[in-house]
Structures are given as C-alpha cells and as structure tokens.
Structure 1
Amino acid sequence: MKSAVETLNPTRVRLTVEVPFEELKDSLDAAYKKINQQVTVPGFRKGKIPARVIDQRFGRGAVLEEAVNDALPKFYQSAVEEGELTPLGQPEVDITDLKDNELLSFTAEVDIRPEIQIPDYSGIEVTVDAAEVADEDVDKSVEQLRERFASTAVVERAAAEGDVVKLDLEARVDGEVLEDGVAQGVDYTIGSGELLEGIDDAVTGLEAGGSTTFTSELKGGSAAGQEAEVKVDVSTVSSRELPELDDEFAQMASEFDTLEELREDSRKRLGQSKKYEQATEAQEKVLDALIELVEIPVPEKLLEDEINTRKHNLVNHQLGQMGLDLASYLRMQDKTEEEFDAELREQAEKGIRTQFVLDELVNKEKLNVSQEELTEHLMRRAQSSGMSPDQFAQAVVEGGQVPMLVGEVARGKALAVVVEAATVKDSNGEVVDLDDEDETAETVDAESSSDDEASEDAAKPDASSSADEAAEPAAEASAESADEDAEKSDKA
C-alpha cells in the first residue's frame, strides 16, 4: 500500500492511498462468504455457492463493493498511522479508481489536530480581586443566619413589606386559565422578589381574605414570556419576628457561646470563600492569557459540530426541563438570535482552543494521571451530577467515557502547571500565594459551619474544573469522533 499526505490547511489534510489488488484478498473472501450466507441458488446448498456462480448471478460489482467497504477502514487507518496524523471526526472518502484484479485507489479528507507551539508562559501575570472581608460582609452573613431563625405569627392587619402571606394564584392568558398556572397555599415574603414581578405591589395593603389581579410576564411554564392576568387571593398575613442579635442567639444558631465568636467565625469563613473565588479567578485569567499567547487554528467542521451540540443540549435538555423554548429564552435574556449565535460560537471556539492547548501542554510536560487522581475527579463529577459515585462510575464505563475523564484530569494538571509558573497579584498589588489552597479546603471540610451560604460558596476550586468548563464539550466531541472512527466501515 502507498499513501501520501497533502496539507490543505493547518487543520485539514487529504490522504491519497493506492492499494494493490492482492491486498484485498481477505476482504474478497469475506465478501463471498457473507453473500453466500444471504442468498440462495437452486442446485447449491446455502453457504456452498461457488464464487463464479455468485459473480454470474449477482454480479462481480456487488462482491467488490462489499469487499471495499470491509477493507477501506483498515487501509485508511494504516495511512493515518503512516502519516503520523491525529484525525478529528469522520473522513470524507472518495474512491478514485477501482480496477478489478489490478488496483484500488481512494482519497480521504479529514480534519486533524493542529500542531501547536507552546511558548514560554512563565511571564504571564494576572490581577485578581483582593480577598478582603469588610465588616459589612460579616453583618450580611450574620443577618442571613438571623433570617433563618425568624419566627412568624398570624396578624389581623393589612400586609406590609417583610410580612409572610399565604397565597392562591391563578394565571390567565387570553382569558383562558393555564393548566400549569394554578397554585395554592404558596408562602411568600413580600419584598423577596421570589415570585412574579408586580406581586409585591399587588398584595401590599391586602388583609386575609383579600383578592386582586395584576398583569405580569410569566418566566416559566407553558406560557413563558407571555403577559398573563394573575388573580391572587390572600389566605393569611403573618409578621416575621427576628431574634435579637445577642449571645443567646449565637448559642441557639451555632456552637459558639458569644455573638462575637460567631462573627469571627463568619469572618474566617468568608475569608476562605473569597480566597477560593480568588483562586478560581486566577485560573480563568491565566487560561485566557495562555490562549492569547498561542496561535490555535480551529477546524471549521469541528467548530460547527460543537456549536450544534451546545445548541441542541440547551434547547432540548436545559430549556426543555424548564418548559421553555429558544424564543422564550431569548426574550427573557433580552437577546436577538444573532447575538445568541455569536456568543455560542465564541464559547464553542474557546472550548476547542482550550482543549487543544492544554492537551499539548500535557504532552509537553509529560503529565500522567494516577488512579487516585482519577478517583477523586470521578467523585467530584458524581457529586455535581447528583448520582452516587458507583452509579456515575458505572455510567462512565458503560459509555466508554473513561478516556474523557482522564483527559479532564490531565488538562486540569496542565493548567495548574501554568498557574504555578504565572505571577498572580491582587488588586492591592500583593502577590497571591495559591499554594495553601488544599490545606484551607481541608479546614473547611473538617469544621462545621454556622453559615450555610458561606459554606456553599467555599466549594474547593479545582484547576480541572476551570479548564473543563471551557474544554469539556470539545473533549466530548473528540470522544464521539473516536467512537465514530470505529464505525468507519459502515460510513465508507
């Protein structure tokens, strides 16, 4: 077999392959055998029909077609290996010559992973927000904790801001009550902004048993984005009583004896949360700076596939679960479809560039992924997916996605190498030390929290999460391409 590689552009090549006919012998034998099992000829037992009879009855062309379909993937793969190429997706195959008993020649155009030169990245310098905790931040944190320990009592007066009202709601569009537009016994705190726009003004001043109507744009459900007439009935009005901010409150709401101890704990945890936010910001900005340093051509077909995949997932999964369509979503976001498409293209392109540059770094720095690192990453992914680690691991194995997870971890390690080499300063001009990140995270995990919101914000930043937020869809596209390559015989 002879093969030659022609570079069409930095991300696409054309393979020209010539195969001596004798190398088709195994595929021809397999083709005769397959046809033998599928057809019947009077006078011959099934499976025992001579090749010359098959040629006479069904045509030599049918046999050649079957043989070529069987052989093409193997010859294509050999040409790829000979050319030391890394293909992305399916090739476009064109049989240019097929001479019986002489020669098979074909061309295959395919996108390839571009060659990337990683420059010296040690000079990268980024600025992040300072991890400072103001007294106002502590006040807000303690106040949020105080809100959770508020008590309510039914009152015989008109509802006012801050009161909790129990409501029955009924939404109509064009005079018709929506099937999903009726709700009863809804508790709502006036002024919280957690329900429909306009409801605060509507219920303020109403007493128990009062009723009114108002118009509002629906944010979800079957009529999302449409103006609806909403009827609201007030069942009860309750006032909220907040506990006094004193030592007794600290003992009730936490493990601390004094309010000052509670405030200091909140300050400590807010500081940890800000450091995690700072680390995440550093990772994102270093990644952006790295991508700016490197010329990374993007295969157009891969980009279009990535854009279509992202749009399909948004429309058919995320929005579908919310009862929205794309038009309603765009109205809520106050965007045109052109603006949406432009943003989607930018995000997809950044994801592909991120994967390419980090994968090249993995090779350059010879980074490996240990079983322990893979297990830790799997646990985090399982937690974010809402599945148990065993369920998630089983789904990953059955879906053949283990290489994808390994790639995610490796790219995270590559980004960590760049962040370590970069200079990170805060907005005060001070150099930020990110080395104690793991130790701080362990402290948060080990201690109980008196402030749930601060605890939630203090999720450990992970280099792989920053990298994969941009690169994961491209990684999935590459994984799908690898699966498709295994099915080239059908496509050919």
Structure 2
Amino acid sequence: MQVSVEATGGLERRMTVDIPEEQISREVDKRLQQMARTTRIKGFRPGKVPMKVIKTRYGDQVRQEVLGEVVQSSFYEAVGQENLRPAGHPRVEPKEGDENQEGFAYTATFEVMPEIEPAPVEGVEVDKVTSEVTDADVEKMLETLRKQNADWVKVDREAGDGDRVVIDFKGTIDGEPFEGGEGENVPVTIDSGRMIPGFEEGLKGAKAGEERTLDLTFPDDYGYKEVAGKPAQFQVKIHAVEQPNLPEIDDEFAKRFGVESAEALKKEVRDNMERELEQTLKARVKQQVMDKLVELNDVEIPKALIENESQALLEQMRQNMQVPQGKQGPDLSPSMFEEQAAKRVTLGLILAEIIKRNELKAEPEQVRAAVEKIAASYEKPEEVRSWYFGDQRRLGEVESAVLEDRVVDWFLEQAKVTEESKGFDELMNPQQQ
C-alpha cells in the first residue's frame, strides 16, 4: 500500500492511497471459493458449481464489497502510518487514472486535529469571591419562608408595603390592547418586584372598590420584544386589600417542610444555603478560568467538530422544548449554535491537552465525593447514589466534571488570585441590591 499526503490549506488534508491488485484479488478469490461450497445454481449439484461460473455471476458484486471494506481498513491503517489524527469522517473518492491500471486508488479528504501548545498561565489575574452564611442570612431566609407560607386576610384600609391587592387590569399601548396585557382577580404583592417598574408602587394607598390609571413604560430588556421599551397605560380595578398573617417558626411550621422541629428546620435551611453558596462560588471562579483559557489560546478548530457540536446542541434544545408528537416545533437550524459550539469545542480541546500534559486524573475518591455532594441535596440520597454508580455513562459525566475541577485547581495554583469578600445576599441576589 502506497500513501501520499497533501496539505490543502488550514487543517484539511488530501490523502491518496494505492492498494495493490494482489491484495484485492486474494480476498475476492477467497470469498468466491467460500461461496462455491454452498451456492445453488440450476444445472449443477451443490458444491460442484465451476469457479468460472461463480466468478461470472458474482465476481463484480464481491469485488465491490471487498473494495468497500479495504478502503475503510486501509484508511485507518494509512492515517496511523502517517501519524495523522482525523477530525470527522473523510470524503472518499476513487482516483481517476489509467483504465488498464491494476489495483485500486482513492483519495480521502479530511480535517486533522490541531496541534495545541497551551499558553502559560503564570500570573494571569483571576478574581475570587469569598463569602459565608451568617446567622442573619439564615434568619432572613426563614422570614422569607414565613412570607411564602402566609395566610392572607382581607383588611378595610389602604394598601401598603407587603400587602396584597387583588385586581383586574387592562393594558393598552397607543390605545390598543396587547397580548398578555389583561388579567382578572390577579393577586399582586406590593414591593415584591414581580411586576414592571412602577406597577406595584402605583397600587400603594389603594382601597377595595377603587379604580386607578397607571401610566408606565416597559423596560428595554423586557422579555416580550413586542412591548419592550414602549409606554403603556393600565386601567386597574381593586377588588380587595389583604395583609399577610405570618406563621410562627415552631415545630408545626417545620413539619410543612418534612422535618420534625424548628431547630432541625433551621439546620436544614443553613445546610441548603451553604451548599448553594459553595456551588455558586465554585461556578464563578470556574467560569473565569474557562474564559481565560479560551482567551489565551488561539486554536484553529476543525469545521467538522463545530458542525457535530452544533447538531448536538440543536438536538438538546429540541429535547428540552419537548414538542408534542405531531406538533410543528420552531424552525431551528444548527447554524444558530455555531458560535456556542465553536467555544465549547475550543475549550474541550484545550482542556484535553492540559489534562494529558499534566497527567491529571479523576481519582475514585474524588468522583465518589462529587456524587455524594449531588446526592445530599435530594430527599433520598441513596437512590441518587445508586442512579449514578449504576450507569457508567452518568458516572463518566461526573468524572469529566471532576477533571475540569482539577484543571481549575491547576490554573489557580499558578494564577494571580485576588480575593474579594461579599455578603450572601449581595452574591446570591444581586438584582435586589
């Protein structure tokens, strides 16, 4: 087998492979002989069909089958011989040549994986936020739970902060109604921040039976683009003003959350807050590290890998949307995900090279600890543990996450880390600050 490789630009390679006729003929003859033992042809006894007849009837068909298999096996043999790492499937075409030429020749066009030399990270600046859950944070969370589980009692007075008003409203833009701009018997808690700016403020001081007109403007970044940034007028009728009747934090209240006592509830609330805080802090610094790695390393990416990743992201979105069978889902295209796919592929290649060069491994105890952390947030952690350890694919996802954490640790050991302390609320609820 003769092999020649030509670089046609960037990561693309064109490889020409010549397979000697002897190799092809030997395999064809072998298969025809096997066929002769069992082939039934009218006029001949089983196993007695002359080879000449077998070749005439089945020779071309068998040769094409052999060529298909030889091309596949020879391609991987050839790329190994030339120390090439293909990215994606090759485009194979028979090589044009002399009709009398013996053997078979083809060209395979494909992209190769890039050679990556990770950039040094010594001294790269990283901001690391630190925080802790205080007793005051726990008390504030418990107060939030009280408000979420409050009973609402009608009152005959003006509405104020923390009260709830039950309203009908009709919104118009330039005198015309718009989608989602109307509601009946809608409960609105004043100062909850759930309505557009000015709506809740405009209900302060209102009493049951009153009607009000609110002239407001939708935020520029409002999710419904058709009304974003536009002025609107709302006609509001107030049916009732209600105040919250907050439950006491006692054992009876704790049982609503599946725990036996108020003290157990406080402990569970703190544990959940600390777990959520740890995940948030870890995610923030990890995102910084990943962004820095992409920024520092200019990597040429095979188009085939971007196309494959774009298709995978498209399929993932379709699954997440759960379009009912028989229904027409939104018109989606892999091209919509190319930018995201390129970044993910780039990062994956960089991480793989760093892991290989530094011999980073996901040790069994680290994987088990990661699974334990995941399971701890569920009501039945033992079932979650079994779910992960019972499926190698799921466990592989945890191992990949552990390896990424090892890369983050490797990066931070060499980077210039600046720590900044923030309060729990400032970090977890920045929109309320």
TM exceeding 0.5: yes
Amino acid at match of 1:421: Q
Per the TM alignment, residue 306 of structure 1 is displaced from its structure 2 partner at its CA by 1.8
Secondary structure of the structure 1 residue equivalent to 2:90: strand
> What's the TM-score once normalised by structure 2's chain length?
0.65
Alpha carbons of structure 1 residues 32 and 389: separation in structure 2 relative to 1, 3 Å: farther
Larger Rg: 2
Distance of 1:272 and 1:391 partners within structure 2 = 21
- Report the identity percentage: 24
**Structure 1 position 309 matched with structure 2 position 308:** no
Task: Report the counterpart of residue 470 of structure 1 in structure 2.
Answer: none
Distance of 2:311 and 2:322 partners within structure 1 = 16
Alpha carbons of structure 1 residues 326 and 85: separation in structure 2 relative to 1, 3 Å: same
Distance of 2:200 and 2:296 partners within structure 1 = 51
Give the conservation status (yes or no) of the 8 Å contact 1:21–1:100: no
Distance of 1:56 and 1:317 partners within structure 2 = 52
Task: Report the counterpart of residue 332 of structure 1 in structure 2.
Answer: none
Alpha carbons of structure 1 residues 200 and 17: separation in structure 2 relative to 1, 3 Å: same
> What's the TM-score once normalised by structure 1's chain length?
0.58
Amino acid at match of 2:322: G
Give the conservation status (yes or no) of the 8 Å contact 1:97–1:104: no
Task: Report the counterpart of residue 6 of structure 1 in structure 2.
Answer: 6
Q: Deviations over 1:28-55 (max 9, x none)?
A: 2575479779986323467875543233
Distance of 1:355 and 1:12 partners within structure 2 = 20
Task: Report the counterpart of residue 281 of structure 1 in structure 2.
Answer: 284
Alpha carbons of structure 1 residues 140 and 377: separation in structure 2 relative to 1, 3 Å: closer
When structure 1 is superposed on structure 2, of 150-159 and 20-29 the one drifting more is 150-159
Task: Report the counterpart of residue 473 of structure 1 in structure 2.
Answer: none
Task: Report the counterpart of residue 62 of structure 1 in structure 2.
Answer: 61
Give the conservation status (yes or no) of the 8 Å contact 1:3–1:16: yes
When structure 1 is superposed on structure 2, of 112-121 and 302-311 the one drifting more is 302-311
Alpha carbons of structure 1 residues 408 and 305: separation in structure 2 relative to 1, 3 Å: same
Alpha carbons of structure 1 residues 62 and 413: separation in structure 2 relative to 1, 3 Å: same
Secondary structure of the structure 2 residue equivalent to 1:68: helix
Give the conservation status (yes or no) of the 8 Å contact 1:94–1:107: yes
**Structure 1 position 95 matched with structure 2 position 94:** yes
Give the conservation status (yes or no) of the 8 Å contact 2:165–2:239: yes
Distance of 1:33 and 1:184 partners within structure 2 = 84
Distance of 2:371 and 2:25 partners within structure 1 = 46
Q: What RMSD over aligned residues (CA atoms) do the two structures have, in Å?
A: 5.9
Per the TM alignment, residue 347 of structure 1 is displaced from its structure 2 partner at its CA by 1.9
- Structure 2 residue runs of 5 or longer lacking an equivalent are 169-182, 210-217, 219-223, 228-235, 255-260, 429-433
**Structure 1 position 410 matched with structure 2 position 403:** yes
Per the TM alignment, residue 24 of structure 1 is displaced from its structure 2 partner at its CA by 2.9
Per the TM alignment, residue 249 of structure 1 is displaced from its structure 2 partner at its CA by 4.5
Q: Deviations over 1:311-336 (max 9, x none)?
A: 3322x222335999547x9xxxxxxx
Distance of 2:376 and 2:37 partners within structure 1 = 51
Task: Report the counterpart of residue 299 of structure 1 in structure 2.
Answer: 302
Per the TM alignment, residue 296 of structure 1 is displaced from its structure 2 partner at its CA by 1.1
Give the conservation status (yes or no) of the 8 Å contact 1:125–1:286: no
Task: Report the counterpart of residue 78 of structure 2 in structure 1.
Answer: 79
**Structure 1 position 290 matched with structure 2 position 293:** yes
**Number of residue pairs aligned between Structure 1 and Structure 2:** 395
Alpha carbons of structure 1 residues 101 and 239: separation in structure 2 relative to 1, 3 Å: same
Distance of 2:272 and 2:373 partners within structure 1 = 22
**Structure 1 position 242 matched with structure 2 position 235:** no
**Structure 1 position 353 matched with structure 2 position 355:** no
Alpha carbons of structure 1 residues 290 and 73: separation in structure 2 relative to 1, 3 Å: same
Amino acid at match of 1:290: L
Distance of 2:297 and 2:306 partners within structure 1 = 18
Give the conservation status (yes or no) of the 8 Å contact 1:124–1:422: yes
Distance of 1:390 and 1:110 partners within structure 2 = 42
Give the conservation status (yes or no) of the 8 Å contact 2:163–2:242: yes
Secondary structure of the structure 2 residue equivalent to 1:366: coil
Secondary structure of the structure 2 residue equivalent to 1:426: strand
Q: Deviations over 1:427-482 (max 9, x none)?
A: 47xxx9xxxxxxxxxxxxxxxxxxxx99xx7xxxxxxxxxxxxxxxxxxxxxxxxx
Secondary structure of the structure 2 residue equivalent to 1:3: strand
Alpha carbons of structure 1 residues 161 and 100: separation in structure 2 relative to 1, 3 Å: farther
Task: Report the counterpart of residue 488 of structure 1 in structure 2.
Answer: none
Per the TM alignment, residue 72 of structure 1 is displaced from its structure 2 partner at its CA by 1.9
Task: Report the counterpart of residue 321 of structure 2 in structure 1.
Answer: 319
When structure 1 is superposed on structure 2, of 384-393 and 271-280 the one drifting more is 384-393
Give the conservation status (yes or no) of the 8 Å contact 1:31–1:67: no
Give the conservation status (yes or no) of the 8 Å contact 1:125–1:424: yes
Secondary structure of the structure 2 residue equivalent to 1:42: coil
Amino acid at match of 2:151: S
Amino acid at match of 1:242: L
Equivalent runs, 1:108-257 vs 2, <5 Å: 108-129=108-129, 131=131, 140-153=140-153, 162=162, 192=192, 239-242=243-246, 249=249, 255=262
Distance of 1:156 and 1:38 partners within structure 2 = 98
Distance of 2:96 and 2:47 partners within structure 1 = 31
Secondary structure of the structure 1 residue equivalent to 2:299: coil
Distance of 2:50 and 2:403 partners within structure 1 = 55
Per the TM alignment, residue 380 of structure 1 is displaced from its structure 2 partner at its CA by 6.8
- Structure 1 residue runs of 5 or longer lacking an equivalent are 169-182, 209-216, 218-223, 330-336, 433-452, 458-492
Give the conservation status (yes or no) of the 8 Å contact 1:124–1:290: no
